[in-house]
Structure 1
Amino acid sequence: MEKTFQYVDYLWEEKKAEELGDDQVALFLYRSNILGSDLRITNYGGGNTSCKTIERDPLTNDEVEVMWVKGSGGDIGTLTREGIAGLYTDRLRNLKNVYRGIEDEDRMVGLFYHCIYDLNSKAPSIDTPLHGLLPFKHIDHLHPDALIAVAAAKDSEKITQEIWGNTMGWVPWQRPGFDLGLQLEKCLEENPGIRGIVLGSHGLFTWGETSYECYLNSLEVIETASEYIENKIKQNGEGFGGQKLKSLPSAERKDKAAKLIPLLRGLASSENKMIGHYTDDDTVLEFINSNDLARLAPMGTSCPDHFLRTKIQPLILNLDTSEDISNTDEAFKKLEPAFDKYREQYKEYYENCKHSNSPAMRDPNPVIIIYPGVGMFSFAKNKQTARVASEFYINAINVMRGAEAITEYTSLPRQEAFDIEYWLLEEAKLQRMPSEQPLSRRVAIVTGAAGGIGKAIADKLVAEGANVVLTDVTEDALKEAIKSYKKDQVAGAVCDVTKEDSVEKAFLQASLAFGGVDIIVHSAGLAISKSLEDTTLKDWALLQNVLVKGQFLMAQYGVAIMKKQGFGGDIVNIASKNGLVSGPNNVGYGTAKAAQQHMTRLLAAELGGDKIRVNVVNPDGVIVGSKIWEGEWAEGRAKAYGIDVEELPKHYAKRNLLQEIILPEDIAKGVFAYVGILDKSTGNTINVDGGMANAFVR
């Protein structure tokens, strides 16, 4: 029978569970995934889950209890068998015999490896003993907003008893580790029969004898806390001390945010280039427009999972919503001191709290930036991390809202926060992260990206780590193209490059999606092959508009954003061998391509001082997979050479020096060469044509 909940989603499907049979690990993974899909229960990467099973010891053939638990760095919402660790439960518990106290925590993590049962285990996380020292078959450690609100409220222990009576335990704040596992074990011994434990300033532990019982227990505890908080909010009236100001209307908010975010991105990237994210979620607007913003935001977050991703506190912009931010220099003068002050405060926090063996200070720039009346920006090394940081801060807002309604919000002391942020184990985790890809932290916009050469270019840039905004004039084709990418990799913008307002809108969408633009690739095109007599003014205008005017508009609007950011960029224009070589029946197309090539050189000369490189790739004979070769162009070129359309690929391959068929992927490699390798090349031309002697540029 399906249960009804108001504040969490009940997602357990009996049919799905029956399909998994008695496979307790599969049921634990199923429970984990559905818990992780509800951000009110736990955010990306937050919390951990476990189960215990009886297995056959491969060395003794005896039956032993094995604990399966989420490994280090995993996410319960997407957890698979590859992401869990399997440990002998008795060996883990025997570590109590060698534990020497709080100063021994880091050594204990190394000893977890001596407890491994499954040789394919993920690295055990710091929370492993918290699950292992409790006796239950299935355990959830979650970070629900409602529970952290209870945990972060003044008089949290008293509130816990008021809500659940003697059915829930409470343990004061303590950094995760072996000793916290001992405290949970002690709490259970002193309070037999409890259904869970609230961790002060941290989160929740719940359990059950089956995966379903554990799941239901977790939902019921969270539901009870959520209902208690909502009743308190209703009693207290408007949250966060009421609204200090009103938000701009939605369209105005997004327009102002899109115009400001490249400037913020540049300022937040003083040490490392960052990718941006923007939200004007209702929860965010209620908080950032409130009277209590100035009091609560500087206090910082309480849950370690929150501040590890958001930094201890946000930067609040002292900008009025009516201020004109179109003048980049004036806006920069106003914002730069705020960023300088934030960095200085972060350095003071580091210097005041550091230990003799603390890792070096990390990037002091803000992760979360608040613009009252407009919204919230977040910046991180990639889109997923920036988006997740934003989601975590929304969780923190919910926590503050709930805690304030209950009694009063309390945050972690700065030293406790520092000891988590600069924990040597956290540093080791960072050092284990894979090397970043060549185009990591960069944003590209590609025209004509729904198919052919443009799509191949987008594929290559994404594969090398870039975030890409795909644009195309055809919305249905664009939507279909976007389906081939993973979440957070790309965004789409319908764009007619011949229309200024359409180009402007595409760049605003790119800024909102990723914070700005670093790479512009103009590959939108068409081809018309006609003699002088047959070429109409309409043909001429269409070629000039799409190829030349489109290139001009993309450069003009893109460069404005690059200059706001202040760290240069790349423009790569896809022209053609036909811009260099005279051929029959090609006056309109060849002239437009030549204009593209010379505009590239002109802009390279103009923009070099801004570290903006402008280069061109000249394809030739890209027939397979190219939209240009669908229809009249192919027929025109076949006619010009006196062959059938079907013979064109071989014809073009035979005429180049390498006798190779040129594919869209080959053009994409040319683009990558400019943006991923040749960082000191501008005003240059790469011919990707298999070698056409009459197109040699030197």
Structure 2
Amino acid sequence: MGTIKNDEIYSSPLGVGGFKHVSYLWDEAKAAELAGDEVALLVYRSNLLGADLRLTNYGGGNTSCKAMAKDPLTGKETEVMWVKGSGGDLGTMKRNGLAALYVDRLRSLKNIYRGLEYEDEMVELFNHCIYDLASKAPSIDTPLHGFLPFKHIDHLHPDAAIAIAAAKDGEKITKELFNGTIGWVKWQKPGFELGLMLKQCLDENPGIRGIMLGSHGLFTWGDTAYESYINTLEVIERCAQYLEDNYGKKGAIFGGQKIEPLPKEERLKKAATLAPILRGLCSSGYPKNSPSGVGGMIGHFTDDDRVLQFINSNDLERLAPLGTSCPDHFLRTKISPLVLNLSTDEDVTNTAAIKEKIAPLFEAYRKMYTEYYNSCKHPNSPAIRDANPVIILYPGVGMFSFAKDKQTTRVASEFYINAINVMRGAEAVSEYTSLPRQEAFNIEYWLLEEAKLQRMPKPKSLSGRIALITGSAGGIGKAIAKRFAEEGACIIINDINEGRMNEAMQEFQKQFGRDTAASTLLDVTDNASIEKAYANAVLAFGGVDIVVNNAGISISKSITDHSIEDWDKLYDILVKGQFLVSKLGVEIMRKQNIGGDIINIVSKNSVVAGPNNAGYGSAKAAQAHLTRLLAAELGADKIRVNTVNPDAVIANSNIWAGGWAEGRAKAYGITVEELPAYYAKRTLLNEVILPEDIANACYAFVGGLLNKSTGNTLNVDGGVAMAFLR
């Protein structure tokens, strides 16, 4: 099922079921197949709700159902609640993403509840209520569903509803808009107390169809999965329509436009130039993401129309410092964004000058965040976390976000757009209000939230690192890219052949998910192509940390058969290509100022002389010495430059195309079919060399154990004595 973007909320045509602002996705035939299985219908409904980002945020919201089931201890029928467990996403949730609890046991916890000050201790007691021992761990929102009597319940965070919930007159608007059929519960941190407040609201307002949570979200319900689904859509539709009807009545949105955005091409060019500098600043002052001690935050950039409307407005200066309201928002975007005081005509190509101008903004932000922590912390609060901004706004250009990995930074960007939608709506009908700083802190540094963070898997060795491997759509390049991706790196898939690149990209997305790789065409002999490829890489991930010069070609001919065109082609791709790709890569690494790696895939032929190899062998020798020259030059920048020397990598390698195999076979007086065995037998280890062997050698240089090694060569040839360097 495709995901419906939240920007469609203000522009969707009238949809099936008479909805304009939400999408009716219920399939009666599909639901009929699930009839009688309330849990299956819960999963189905949850997936429909999660597929429409106008209804809830990625990873946010939770749903539940209550049904009778046989108690395995007594054999009697008992009421069980299935509810989305801790973590996960509604759009992709399966049955194993649910927690199953005895309803009577859960509700009996009210008898031992000691009050708000002690509500966190109730979370461990949820485990004593579990019905299905193999189910997901219960989330903090479990009692919110358990204390309400309805068979099916949806708790979502739709922008349209939160805009009303975060409005200064939200309670009054809710009452008038729904004629008293939607209750109101003032802001309360999610947990046991909020569950009791929801039940009290229902008791005091019998017959209501839902409850609006101040600054937070929406609860809706029904006696069946379908009734709950329709009720949810209808309530959100009415909220969205109300906002649409009121846009412009109080004046221009966000106080009107203050500055003109740059044209699209100029925005992207400026963003690509600036992003590595921002990444370096965001990556300072905290332990590196990568266990190797190298790398930094991963970036994301968007110039979405909603972002531009907000950052170019007169109200930006007033609204941005307020921060967000919904806990889902600020947990991912931090308490507030950093706004760059740069004009759209600022020359961002002068790295030193631009750093001098914006570094104080980062220092001020870190100071603000530290003061926020110190003024709000409790005696048992976790230690302060990274004080750098997550969201950075550049008026006229767009929005950058930086976080520990690509999924986190992309989702943070999406959540801030949600926050913009909320501010837009709240300002249209009333006045936007954010959570008080203390309440925000209590969520951000909640001990239960900290425990969740501590349970997160440890970062992999290349987490926080971005790698561009030339020619990574096939052969050795793809093997290196996969090895790095397995270790947590973000990968720039590239090739001169668009079809091969697209196939490799699809393969990577299937194996590693949508956030591991981005793709770009790249011709290493064309500086304009290289510049564009790096710009695409920077816009996708924020910068580059690892450059592997792998793209190559092989021509094996005698000196008399070698043409000038052959010679130029070899030197253009191998030597000039390595030079150009490295040159622009170094410029980005220096902007980031967090070090980096360049690995050059050279060859045994760079040191071994043989027949029919004048052009290829000499070009490889030039590549090898260029490695040493750059290592000597870039040490002060903490940029390591090393060589991997393969030999006879036959499997899946493009090197054997174009007559190379025939040329080498002729040189050795054997047939092409005999080459693999010939190459293996001439090695000391009698081994065939595979692309994965080269990938492992590259990983050895960047994985953390050789951080103090530069200017070195690692032979991966099975042991060719003539290629020994010493």
TM superposition score normalised by structure 1: 0.99
Counterpart residue identity of residue 235, structure 1: K
Asked if the contact 1:472/1:496 (under 8 Å) is kept, the reply is yes
Residue 499 of structure 1: aligned partner: 526
**Deviation sequence 1:599-637 (CA, Å, 0-9, x none):** 000000000010000001111110011111134111111
Match among 39, 50, 74 for residue 64 of structure 2: 50
Tell me if 1:467 matches 2:490.
Answer: yes
- Amino acid aligned to 2:174: T
Residues 460-508 of structure 1, C-alpha deviations (whole Å, 9 max, x = no match): 1111100000111011110110001220100011010001111111111
Query: Deviations along 1:142-177, whole A, 9 cap, x unmatched?
Result: 000010001000121110011101211110000011
1:526-565 mapped onto 2 (5 Å cutoff)? 526-565=553-592
In 2, are the aligned partners of 1:92 and 1:112 still within 8 Å (CA)? yes
Q: Where does residue 689 of structure 1 map in the other structure?
A: 717
* Deviates further, 59-68 or 598-607: 59-68
User: Equivalent residues in 2 for 1:656-675 (5 A)?
Assistant: 656-675=683-702
Query: Is the partner of 1:484 in helix, strand or coil?
Result: helix
The alignment partner of 2:91 has SS state of helix
Any gaps of 5 or more consecutive residues in structure 2?
1-14, 289-295
Q: Find the partner of 1:7 among 21, 24, 30.
A: 21
Matches within 5 A, 1:413-432: 413-432=436-455
| Equivalent residue runs for 1:635-654 within 5 Å | 635-654=662-681
* Separation of aligned partners in 1, 2:658 and 2:669: 17
Amino acid in the other structure paired with 2:709: S
**Matched letter for residue 231 of structure 1:** D
1:369 is paired with a residue of what secondary structure? strand
User: Where does residue 536 of structure 2 map in the other structure?
Assistant: 509
Whole-Å separation in 2 of the counterparts to 1:209 and 1:649: 69
Amino acid at match of 1:560: E
2:500 to 477, 484, 488: 477
Gaps of at least 5 residues in structure 1 are: none
Tell me, yes or no, if the aligned pair for 1:446 and 1:522 is still in contact at 8 Å: yes
Residue number among 606, 611, 619 corresponding to 1:579 in the alignment = 606
In the alignment, does 2:422 pair up with 1:399? yes
Contact 1:188 1:194 in 2 (8 A): yes
Amino acid aligned to 2:487: E
Letter in 1 for 2:236: I
How much has 1:75 moved relative to structure 2? 1.2
- Asked if the contact 2:555–2:658 (Cα under 8 Å) also holds between the matched residues in 1, the reply is no
Deviation at 1:661, TM superposition (A): 1.0
Write out per-residue CA displacement over residues 435-474 of structure 1, whole angstroms, 9 at most, x where no aligned residue. Answer: 1000000000011011111111111111110000011101
Code of the aligned partner of 2:177: I
Cα deviation code 1:267-310 (max 9, x no counterpart): 00112420000000000000000000000010110000000000
SS at match of 2:18: coil
Give, in whole Å, the separation in 2 of the partners of 1:694 and 1:25: 68
Write the distance in 2 (CA, Å) between the matches of 1:455 and 1:212: 47
Letter in 2 for 1:203: G
Partner SS state of residue 657, structure 1: coil
C-alpha distance in structure 2 between counterparts of 1:131 and 1:561, whole Å: 50
Structure 2 counterpart SS, 1:166: coil
1:341 is aligned with what amino acid?
A: A
Correspondence 1:599 to 2:626? yes
How far did residue 49 of structure 1 move?
A: 0.9
CA deviation map 1:246-283 (0-9, x unaligned): 10000000000000000000000112420000000000
Cα distance in 1, alignment partners of residues 563 and 36 from structure 2: 74
Deviation readout 1:55-99 (Å, 9 max, x if unpaired): 111111111111111111221111112221111111100000000
How many angstroms does 1:20 deviate by? 2.6
Q: Which residue matches 2:330?
A: 307
Deviation at 1:237, TM superposition (A): 4.1
Aligned to 1:385: 408
Which residue of 1 is the match for residue 8 of structure 2? none
Q: Of residues 133, 146, 154 in structure 2, which corresponds to 1:132?
A: 146
Q: In the alignment, what sits opposite 2:640?
A: 613
Given that residues 452 and 627 in structure 1 are in contact (C-alpha distance below 8 angstroms), is that contact kept between their aligned partners in structure 2? yes
Please tell me the residue identity of whatever aligns with 1:411. S
Counterpart position of 1:175: 189
**Counterpart secondary structure, 1:77:** coil
Aligned letter for 2:323?
G
Residue 292 (structure 2) pairs with residue 292 (structure 1) = no
In the alignment, is the contact (CA less than 8 A) between 2:16 and 2:23 conserved in 1?
Answer: no
- Candidates 579, 589, 593, aligned match of 1:566: 593
User: Residue 548 of structure 2 contacts residue 600 of structure 2 at CA under 8 Å; is this kept in 1?
Assistant: yes
User: Per-residue deviation at 1:523?
Assistant: 0.7
In 2, Cα distance between equivalents of 1:140 and 1:510? 39
- Tell me the TM-score normalised to structure 2 length: 0.95
Structure-1 residue corresponding to 2:276: 262
Residue 195 in structure 1 maps to residue 209 in structure 2: yes
**Corresponding position of 1:454:** 477
Q: Matched residue of 2:52: which SS?
A: coil
Amino acid at match of 2:54: R
SS in 2 for 1:114: helix
CA RMSD of aligned residues (A): 1.0
Q: Aligned pair 1:633/2:647, yes or no? A: no
- Partner residue, 2:126: 112
Q: What amino acid maps onto 1:347 in structure 2?
A: T
CA distance in 2, matches of 1:19, 1:562: 56
Note the alpha carbon deviations across 1:353-402, whole angstroms, 9 max, x for none.
01111110010000000000000000000000000000000000000000
Q: How does 1:74-473 map to 2 (within 5 A)?
A: 74-270=88-284, 271=286, 272=288, 273-473=296-496
Q: Give the length in aligned residue pairs.
A: 698
Q: Which amino acid aligns with 1:431?
A: Q
Does the residue aligned with 1:261 lie in a helix, a strand or coil?
helix
Name whichever of 13-22 and 68-77 sits farther off.
13-22
8 Å contact kept, 1:469–1:510: yes
What fraction of aligned residue pairs are identical, expressed as a percent? Answer: 67
The secondary structure found in structure 1 opposite 2:133 is coil
Within the candidate set 28, 50, 53, 1:36 is matched to: 50
Q: Measure how far apart 1:545 and its partner are.
A: 0.6
The 8 Å contact of residues 84 and 121 in structure 1, kept in 2 or not, is answered as: yes
Q: d(CA) in 1 for partners of 2:498 and 2:409?
A: 27
- Asked if 2 retains the 8 angstrom alpha-carbon contact of 1:624 and 1:649, the reply is no
- Contact 2:102 2:130 (8 Å CA) reproduced: yes
Alpha-carbon separation, structure 1, partners of 2:466 and 2:28 = 44
Report the secondary structure of 2:267's partner residue: helix
CA distance in 1, matches of 2:221, 2:657: 62
What is the CA–CA distance in structure 2 between the aligned matches of 1:27 and 1:101, rounded to whole Å? Answer: 35
